Amino acid sequence: MAFDATIRTQYNNNGTREGWSWLDPFAAIGRMVIGWVNNLGAAAIFLALALWQAFRRKQFSKIIQQIYFIGARSLTIIMLVSLFTGMVLGLQAHHALRQFGAEGAVGSLVALSLIMELGPVLTAIMITARAGSAIAAEIGIQRISEQIDALQTMHINPLRYIVSPKIIAAIISFPLLTAVADLVGIFGGYLSAVMLLGLNAGVYWHSTQVYVVLADVTNGFVKSIVFAVLVATVCCYQGYFAHMRRDSHGAQAVGLATTSAVVISCVLILVSDYVVTSLLI
C-alpha cells in the first residue's frame, strides 16, 4: 500500500473529513502559531493607531485622568510591596554576604537588585493586577454594551477617546512608580540591614552610592517604559476585542478577556525583561 498521510481519514456524504490523520497535531500547532502571529500583528497595528491618535487635540485632560487612575491610585500598593521586598533583600543579602565577610556590599546588592530588576518588574506586575485588569474589564464592558459602537456612530474615534489616553498615561506612570519603588525598596533594605541587624549605616549608604551608576538607573527606566507599552497595549486590546472571542460571549467574554490580559501581560513582562536585559548588558 502506498504511503498516504490521510490513510485513516474518511469522508462523509457531505465531503467533510471524519476520523484521524497523523497530520492533525501538526495542523493544530500551525493554526495556533498562525493565530499568535495574527494577534501580534493586529496588536501592533492597534498600538500604532492609538499612539497616532494620542497627538490629537483635547487629549490632555483625559491623559491626566488616566495618570491619576493608573499611577496615583497604584502608589500605595507599590510602596508596600517594594518596602517588604527591600527588607527581604536586606535580610538575605546580609545573611549571605556575612559568610564571606562582605557585609559592606549589602547596600549595593539591594540597590542594584531593585533598580535593575525587581523594581521595574514588580511595579509592572502590580500595576497590571490593579489597573490593567480594570482597564480590560472597562473597555470590554463598553464593547459588549455597544458604547464603542455608539461612539463610532457619532463619528468619535474610539481609539482616540478610550485607548490613547490609557497608553500615554501608562508610559508616563510606569517610570515614575518604578522610581518610587526603587527608593522605598532601598529604604526597606536599610531598615532590615541597619536597624535590625546592626550594619553600619554609613557603610550601607556608601556602598549604594559607589556601585550604583546612572546607567543602571537608565536601564531600569527603559525596562519600565517597555513594560508600560506592553501592558497597556495588551489590556486595551483584550478589552477592545472581547466581543470577538470564540470561547465565550457577553459578560463571560469580558471576564475571560480580563483574565487573558493579566496573564499575557505578566508573561510578556518576564519575557521582555530577559530580552531587554540581554540587549542592555
pLDDT category of residue 32 using cuts at 50, 70 and 90: confident
For residues 71 and 117, state if they share a domain: yes
For residues 185 and 62, state if they share a domain: yes
For residues 68 and 49, state if they share a domain: no
| Whole-structure pTM value | 0.86
For residues 35 and 105, state if they share a domain: no
Average pLDDT over residues 161-187: 94
pLDDT category of residue 76 using cuts at 50, 70 and 90: very high
CA atoms within 13 A on the CB side of 248: 15
Predicted confidence at residue 30, as pLDDT, reads 83
Split into its structural domains, the chain has a count of: 2
For residues 152 and 214, state if they share a domain: yes
Tell me which of 53, 73, 91 is where a domain ends: 53
For residues 83 and 15, state if they share a domain: no
For residues 152 and 195, state if they share a domain: yes
Residue 101 to residue 257: CA distance in whole angstroms: 51
Query: Tens digit of pLDDT for each residue in 42-60?
Result: 889 989 988 888 877 778 8
For residues 62 and 48, state if they share a domain: no
Q: Which of 8-22, 84-98, 178-192 has the lowest mean pLDDT?
A: 8-22
End-to-end Cα distance, the chain: 58
In which domain, by residue range, is 183 found?
A: 58-280
Burial of 18 (0-12, 13-18, 19+ CB in 10 A): exposed
For residues 130 and 12, state if they share a domain: no
Query: Tens digit of pLDDT for each residue in 133-143?
Result: 999 999 999 99
Residue 38 to residue 35: CA distance in whole angstroms: 5
Burial of 11 (0-12, 13-18, 19+ CB in 10 A): exposed
For residues 28 and 68, state if they share a domain: no
Looking up cell 497627538 gives 55
Partnered with residue 19 across adjacent β-strands are 9
pLDDT category of residue 21 using cuts at 50, 70 and 90: low
For residues 111 and 174, state if they share a domain: yes
For residues 138 and 259, state if they share a domain: yes
